[in-house]
Chains A and B, each alone.
Chain A
């Protein structure tokens, strides 16, 4: 079957739109995460959200809604406890990380019968996204883009030097909490496409590819969107032809793309 024909299928069109929206959101939010060295916090939020998936299954409401609630809650708790220096930051993250997974496993176990689509939450399933998923992803992509366009400077300055930003009267707390909530929502909506296990890669690999060629926050954001979308698209097509799982193929493509970019950098720029 030729490539163009593939794009006429409804499921594939959905997947392409999902890949685009995910690349935009994750490209922007991922740059924030990587620049502020918040990858571990993001891992914690991601895994904690599985607790919400389990509760959702058990109580019979959409697992994604449960995941969103728990993810935002975990994000706020981490941010708050870290600020107040109640506990070591990495210990809080580790506890929420494993607690969320534990709650998820218990509730999935307690749910009578077989839990359908459980695997798709762990590994993602971009080819089964529904139009509801797409509308939610569109809403988030628009929100994230708007916030980062209008508040670009305060976000950049707070990320670079929080204390200085505070002296300049920038509402540091507001920016921090707004952004950690956007991080949580980005993670949850990307779980649908990339899965709990794999979501960190779409938030970090495109950024590291861009970072090879530029060291400007705004350029890393734009580059990440482009590289993320390119790799997702390529991964999607490959997974279709090779008949292998889409999420994993996208991640694999991203890593290969990173290695190729590194090689290009060495060959062309000599470093």
Chain B
């Protein structure tokens, strides 16, 4: 097998002195599309941050066979100040910045890439709008454009479908499927039902990690994996499979 893009071995991650991930191993290969699922507080975001180098593991190792700026990243919505005085175009262009460059003005190729990214996410009309005046969906589109503008080798998305409209959700996953032809994707989600048709494999994260080499998973398996999430089934008739209450 080829060398993995990311190779995590026996990694422990602590957040404010509390162990949130314990003895995790995961290899991410080119063209993977891994859905990272698990309960809230189970360590999904910490895993992402460890891969990005934003959190230092307290044990084990994370090896990259690429540079951090070859990763496109869409953070969880609450990470940035949504009233910061910055426009859609400026946010998207920040995905092209690399290292410390002193520059005045903009270049043709930079402008071209920004236009193309705006077009991809359907925000052409709003390019000069401050982010404070965007809807939840428009904001996520902006963040997605910032993540993909540099044509990254690996794309990591942390709950990209929070606060977005249904239309964007559908467009988003169709776009990701298209991008996955050339880009490796890690997608954090709380909703395995929605992402299931698009992802190739599943990683269940709840302090430990269980890798599941298929895009379908049953509730029994989730239980075995210590991954207590609700499975929300999506079909023509919306229904929801909710775990039985256990009475003691």
User: Taking beta carbons and an 8 Å cutoff, which residues of A are in contact with B?
Assistant: 35, 37, 85, 149-151, 153-154, 156-157, 159-161, 163-171, 174, 211, 214-217, 220
Contacts and interface: CB of A to CB of B under 8 A. Distances in A.
B75 A163 contact: yes
Given A161-B79, A215-B85, A216-B130, A170 B97 contact: yes
Given A151-B102, A167-B53, A215-B85, A161 B90 contact: no
B75 A164 contact: yes
Interface of B: 16, 49, 52-54, 67-69, 71, 73, 75, 79-81, 84-87, 90-91, 93-95, 97-104, 130, 132-133, 146
Nearest to A153: B97
Most chain A CB atoms below 10 A, which of B16, B84, B93, B103: B84
A35 B85 contact: yes
A157 B94 contact: yes
A160 B81 contact: yes
Contact of B84 (A35, A164, A169): A35
A156 B86 CA distance: 8
A163 B102 contact: no
B94 A160 contact: yes
Given A149-B104, A161-B79, A215-B133, A168 B94 contact: yes
A85 B16 CA distance: 9
A167 B97 contact: no
B98 to A, nearest CB: 6
Nearest to B150: A168
B94 A167 contact: no
A211 B103 CA distance: 26
A168 B86 contact: no
Chain A facing B: main interface SS? helix
Contacts of B93: 153
B68 A167 contact: yes
Contacts of B95: 168
B100 A154 contact: yes
Contacts of B132: 215
A161 B94 contact: yes
A164 B146 contact: yes
Given A35-B84, A216-B130, A170 B75 contact: no
Nearest to A217: B85
Contacts of B98: 168-170
Most chain A CB atoms below 10 A, which of B81, B85, B95, B102: B85
A160 B103 contact: no
A85 B14 CA distance: 14
Contacts of A215: 85, 87, 130, 132-133
B71 A220 contact: no
A169 B104 CA distance: 19
A200 B45 CA distance: 37
Contacts of B103: 150, 153
Given A167-B52, A216-B130, A160 B100 contact: no
Nearest to A149: B104
Contact of A169 (B80, B85, B99): B99
16 contacts: A85-B16, A151-B102, A153-B97, A154-B100, A157-B94, A160-B86, A161-B80, A161-B94, A163-B49, A164-B73, A166-B68, A168-B97, A215-B130, A216-B86, A217-B85, A217-B86
Contacts of B68: 166-169
A150 B87 CA distance: 20
Given A161-B79, A167-B54, A150 B97 contact: no
A215 B104 CA distance: 21
A150 B102 CA distance: 5
Contact of B94 (A35, A149, A164): A164
Nearest to B71: A167
B80 A170 contact: no
Given A160-B84, A160-B86, A160-B91, 5 more contacts: A37-B81, A163-B52, A170-B99, A215-B87, A217-B85
Contacts of B71: 167
A160 B73 contact: no
B142 to A, nearest CB: 11
Q: 7 smallest A-B Cβ distances: which pairs?
A: A215-B130, A150-B102, A157-B94, A169-B99, A161-B80, A217-B85, A169-B69
